Structure formats: C-alpha cells, structure tokens
Amino acid sequence: MAEHTYDLKGLNCPLPVLKAKKRLATMQPGSRLWLETTDPLAVIDIPAFCSDDGHQLIETAAVPGGHRFLVERGELQA
C-alpha cells in the first residue's frame, strides 16, 4: 500500500488538521498519509480529528522537533 507524506511543519492549530482534512478528502478510502507536524497540540488534535472524521490513526511517532502520524483514510462520509 502506497504511503504519502504531507509536510505540515511550521503550521499551528488549527491549520494542520484543516489541511490534513482537505488532503484526505481527495484520497481513496484505505489510502495512507503520513502527517509531519511541529505544532505541540497536534498530539491532541490529530487523534481527535481521526476519531471524529472516521479515519484510522495507524501510528504516532515523536521525531526531533515534532511528531509524525500515519493516518488511513476512512470510508466516504455521507
């Protein structure tokens, strides 16, 4: 399964979630996207966004200067 990376470093809340939402909306269900962030609130915002929008948070990793999140696109919303 192909995974893509979306660089959201340097953006602060709510921009990482808003941009991730827009990008995931263009992807097929089951596609995976790495989100790279530097916003400290992303550790709260990204998991909440995934839960609210029906996406699956596959992996979270702390990296120097920020975090990475692997999100699997959920089924299309009605």
50 among known catalytic residues: no
Provide the CA 24 distance to its chain's centre, in angstroms.
Answer: 8
C-alpha distances (whole Å) from 39 to each of 7, 11, 33, 35 are 12, 7, 18, 11
Q: Which of 11, 13, 57, 58 is catalytic?
A: 13
| Bond prior to 14 in cis (omega within 30° of 0) | yes
Active site residues: 13
